[in-house]
Amino acid sequence: MAALAQIAVRRLFNAIGPVDYVGLEERVAKYGTRSLKKNAKRFGLKLAVSMIDLTTLEGKDTRSKVEALCQKARQPHDNLVTPAVAAVCVYPAMVRHARRALGPHSSVRIASVATAFPSGQTALKTRLAEVKWAVAEGADEIDMVINRGAFLAGEFSLVQDEIAAVRATCGAATLKVILEVSELETYDNIRAASFLAMRVLRPGDFIKTSTGKTTLNATLGNNQVMLEAIRDYYLETGIPISMKPAGGIRTAKQALTFLVAVKETLGDAWLNNVRYRFGASALLNDLLRQLEKEKTGAYPAPYYFSEATESY
C-alpha cells in the first residue's frame, strides 16, 4: 500500500473511532427484550410493510414473475388494509417490466441493482454504463455495490471515487450503497465503509448492508453500527443518510426489533420509508400474517397469503 493511502486509512479510522464487538452485541441484544403490545405492535407492523423493498434477484426472473411482484407490492393483501410497500427491487433487465406493470406515477418505486451486482468485479466504465441503462429503463433508485477488494486492500480513495462516480451517473435517482458487510468482516470496517460512502452521498441516499448473496446478511449488530454511523454523520453535518438492511430478515419479530433499534438510535425522523427500508421478500407475508392475527386473534395458515416472491 502506498504511504499516502496508508495515512488516509489511519486518518479515517482515527477520526471515526473504534467499535467494540462485545459491547455492541450486548447493546443490540437489549432491543430484542422490548415488548410491543397492541397499538404499538400494529403500528410497527404496518410501518415495516411500508418500508419493504420487495425483492427478486434471480437469474430465472421473468417478466411475469416481476409483474406478480409489482402487483403484490401495490396491494400486499387482498383483504387487509395495509400500505403499499416502498419499492420493488429487481435486476436492470427487469426494470422495464416493472415500469410497465406499475405505470409511470406509481407510489411504489422501482429500485434496480446495478454495478455488476453482486460482486462488482468489472470495469468502472461497464458499471457506470449499467447504472445509466437502469435509470434510462425507468429505475427510481439504484442499489450499487462498493469495491470490497479495493477497500480491503486499503485503497479507500478508489472506493470513494467510484461511489461518487456512480452517484453522478444516477442523476435524480436515489442511490443505495451496498457495503456487503459480511465481506468487510469487522465492525470497525463496516463503520469506516459507512463513512466513506456517506461523505459522497446526497441527503436521502442510502447505505445498505448486503447483497443477500452471501451467507451472512443484515444482522442487528451491523445494522446498529451503520445506524450509529448515520447518527454521528448527521449530527456533524446535518446531512441525513438513509439506511437499508437487506437479506436475512424474514420474520415480523425480527423486523420490529430492527425498528426498535432505529427508534432508539436515530429517533422518530427515521421511522419512515424515506429514511429506512427493509430489503426483503419473505418478510412481507409474515408481517401480513401478524397483522391478521392482531385483527382476528388467530393465526391464519400461510397458504392464505399470496406468494409472489421467493426467499431473500
Partner 1 sequence: MPTLLNKKRSASSLRRQAAPALIFGDLWAYDPAPETADPKLKTRYELFIGGKFVAPASGQYFDSINPANEQKLAEIAHANTADVAAAYRAAKKAYEQTWSRLPGRERAKYLFRIARLLQDRAREFAVAETMDGGKPIKESRDFDVPMAAAHFFYHAGWADKLEYVAPGRRVAPLGVVGQVIPWNFPLLMLAWKIAPALAMGNCVVIKPAETTSITALKLAEIFQDAGLPAGVVNIVTGFGDTGAAVMAHPLAAKVAFTGSTEVGKIIMRSLAGTNKKMTMELGGKAANIIFDDAPLDQAIEGIVNGIFFNQGHVCCAGSRLLVHEPIAATVLAKLKQRMRTLRVGDPLDKNTDIGAINSKAQLATIKRLVAVGVKEGAALYQPDCVLPAKGFYFRPTVFSGVSMSHRIAREEIFGPVLSVLTFRTVDEAIEKANNTAYGLSAGVWTDKGSRILKLAAELKAGVVWANTYNKFDPASPFGGYKESGFGREGGRQGLLDYCQFV
Which residues inside 272-301 make contact with partner 1, applying CB under 8 A? Answer: 272-274
Nearest alpha carbon to residue 121 among 90, 152, 148, 153 = 148
Minimum CB–partner distance for residue 134 and partner 1 (Å): 18
Minimum CB–partner distance for residue 2 and partner 1 (Å): 25
Nearest alpha carbon to residue 87 among 124, 45, 54, 127 = 54
**Residue 39 in contact with partner 1, rule: CB under 8 A:** yes
**Residue 302 in contact with partner 1, rule: CB under 8 A:** no
Active-site annotation holder among 65, 72, 176, 244 = 244
**Residue 218 in contact with partner 1, rule: CB under 8 A:** no
* 176 annotated active-site: no
Would you say 28 or 155 has its CB closer to partner 1? Answer: 28
- The grid coordinates of residue 177 equal 450503497
Distance between CA atoms of residues 73 and 101, nearest Å:
11
Which residues inside 115-174 make contact with partner 1, applying CB under 8 A? Answer: 174
Give yes or no for a contact between 258 and 227, defined as CB atoms under 8 angstroms apart.
Answer: no
**Residue 202 in contact with partner 1, rule: CB under 8 A:** yes
Nearest alpha carbon to residue 225 among 21, 38, 34 = 21
* 208 annotated active-site: yes
The 10 Å CB-count burial string (b at 16+, else e) for 235-253 is: eeeeebbbbbbbbbbbebe
Give yes or no for a contact between 83 and 49, defined as CB atoms under 8 angstroms apart.
Answer: yes
Distance between CA atoms of residues 159 and 153, nearest Å:
10
Active-site annotation holder among 53, 143, 205, 286 = 143
Would you say 151 or 233 has its CB closer to partner 1? Answer: 233
Residue 7 CB neighbour total at 10 angstroms: 11
> Which listed range, 21-29, 123-131, 211-219, 289-297, lies at the site for partner 1 (CB under 8 A)?
21-29
Half-sphere exposure of residue 292: CA atoms within 13 angstroms, side-chain side = 18
Would you say 93 or 274 has its CB closer to partner 1? Answer: 274
- Binding site residues, partner 1, CB under 8 A: 17-20, 22-24, 26-27, 33-41, 43-44, 46-47, 50-51, 83-84, 86-87, 107, 109, 174, 202-205, 228, 231, 234-240, 259, 263-264, 266-269, 271-274
The residues annotated as belonging to the active site are 143, 208, 244
